[in-house]
Amino acid sequence: MYGLARPLLFSLDAERAHALGMASLEAAYRTGLNPLLAAKPKPLVTKAFGIEFPNPIGCAAGLDKNGAHIDALMALGFGFVEIGTVTPRPQQGNPKPRMFRLPEHEAIINRLGFNNLGVDALVRNVERSKREGILGINIGKNKDTPNEQAVDDYIYCLERVYDLADYITVNISSPNTQGLRDLQNEDALRKFVHELRTAQEDLASVRGHRVPMLVKIAPDLSEAELDGIAEVFNAVRIDGVIAGNTTVDRRMLGSHPMAAQVGGLSGRPLYEKSTTTLRRLRLRLDDNIPIIGVGGISSGADAVGKVSAGAQLVQIYTGFIYHGPQLIGECVTALRRRKEGVA
């Protein structure tokens, strides 16, 4: 069914198509037609961060920034859904156009800039949802908040979503908020993550339950930068890491006319780079810190590659745009065959 809808969606501006696609997905869910989109995969229970996931294939943050389509996405068979990135106050993001397809590469370039309705709107949406699955909430800072005060924005969001999330992701790696990636520098990261970990444990004590906190990193980090990041994460005993975000690297696009567009590149061209970062990070992190692998997954074999590189779970986004909901089941099936030792 998605194969029939895709030509229409791809005839529209990418951001408009995204909105229409999500609205159509919601309509299919509410009318009971979502089984026509794809068959839900059989469970492949996977444990990470103290959570039991029905399967290891998740929906990456960015597809549902405001948590308006949680139930519709969960009904497709995702093992978990991550919403956001959300900021304390609403913000429009960067000027349009700000999302571009590269169909020849099964890729997207975006410079959205954390466009969202603010954390209070997201909280209302989550509270209205049935949440029949594992929910992650991805948090960020407002564009006009200086890095010196960034931790205040993250703690503000952390406190508001804490009781609604199964896990919370701290996004410090989007290339579309100026200076955000500077928070990955070792000295800044050490202070930043320490304050967040303190807030997390304080909330656990007050609220009576502990919600895992993950950090999402960029795929554009050098070996030395990964050394510093891993040292910090091991020292503060972070619950998990998502590797990684979109890339600013354009070398894999060659002379493509869209290569000059500013923003983060996602999709098939990102796979090798993001998987290399994942593999290098796995070698540096303590064994008890799980990693979610994301970036360029467009087939079941790609999902297997992420797990083979050291991921416990994987997430999809751009591959979902190009291949539709059937990619979820394809990835689960491939990982099941890997687990069972079937070639």
Residues involved in catalysis: 174
b vs e for 284-297, b when ≥16 Cβ sit within 10 Å of the residue's Cβ? bbeeebbbbbbbbb
Q: Which residues contact 60 (CB under 8 A, 6 or more apart)?
A: 82, 294, 315, 316, 317
Q: Which residues contact 264 (CB under 8 A, 6 or more apart)?
A: 109, 110, 111, 174, 175, 176, 245, 246, 247, 248
Residue 140's DSSP bridge partners are none
Residue 134, class by beta-carbon neighbours within 10 Å (0-12 exposed, 13-18 middle, 19+ buried)?
buried
Distances (CA, A) of 18 to 31, 108, 170, 321: 20, 12, 24, 9
Other Cβ atoms less than 10 A from the Cβ of 209: the count is 9
Q: Which residues contact 10 (CB under 8 A, 6 or more apart)?
A: 17, 101, 103
310 token code pair: 């050291």
Q: How far is it, in rounded angstroms, from Cα 234 to Cα 292? A: 16
Distances (CA, A) of 145 to 33, 87, 89, 179: 43, 10, 10, 10
Residue 278's DSSP bridge partners are none
Question: CB–CB of 251/233 below 8 Å?
Answer: no
335 token code pair: 């990982």
30 token code pair: 């509410």
